[in-house]
Amino acid sequence: MTEQHEQHAHQFERGTDGPKVIVVGVDGSDSSLRAAAYAGGLARRQHALLAVVYVQPVLAAGAALGAPVAETTDEIAEDLIAQIREAAERLKGIFEVRWEFHTFRGDAYNGLVKAADDLKADAVVVGASEQAGHRIIGSVAVRLVKAGRWPVTVVP
């Protein structure tokens, strides 16, 4: 190897690598909001698009009993959008982050997989599960990691 080629091989390329689209799953839980804050910082530093995703659960049993499931999940989505907009306004001029809000329907795992695929995500960020039952069947985060399709960051 020539000396010139050796020097070029060791140069660090700045600003061209890293994720361009970061998907973060939010559901209103404390861990998902921490994940959104972490993903927002990552998106800011990487100049990436932050795709905030809420997966509206489809509760067939509740719908069959006449419960207003769709209205409730729509209200959660609207509340999440309001919280995100409020946080973005507070940070305006200090930190600039490009972000979009997306809603998918279904179970959390399949909704996040579809979101990551549709949005061509380079990375996925989720909060750690706060439910005890996930120790047995596996959390959404563990299932995303096992899928092995994107780098997944789990925020406690």
Pairwise CA distance, residues 97 & 85, whole Å: 11
Give the dihedral sign, CA 58/59/62/67: negative
Q: How far is CA 128 from CA 25, 34, 46, 123, 153, in A?
A: 11, 10, 23, 16, 9
The pLDDT of residue 10 is above 60: no
Q: For residue 33, what are its two tokens? A: 């909001």
Pairwise CA distance, residues 14 & 54, whole Å: 33
**What pTM value is reported for the model?**
0.73
45 versus 9: which is more confidently predicted?
A: 45
Model confidence band, residue 22 (pLDDT cutoffs 50, 70, 90): very high
Query: Model confidence over 23-77: pLDDT tens digits?
Result: 999 888 888 889 988 999 999 999 999 999 988 877 654 444 555 555 666 777 7
CA 68 to chain centre: 27
The pLDDT of residue 134 is above 60: no
Half-sphere exposure for 103 (CA within 13 Å, toward CB): 13
Pairwise CA distance, residues 14 & 5, whole Å: 18
Query: Model confidence over 65-121: pLDDT tens digits?
Result: 555 555 666 777 777 777 777 766 666 666 678 888 888 888 899 999 999 999 999
- Amino acid 72: pLDDT: 66
Pairwise CA distance, residues 23 & 120, whole Å: 9
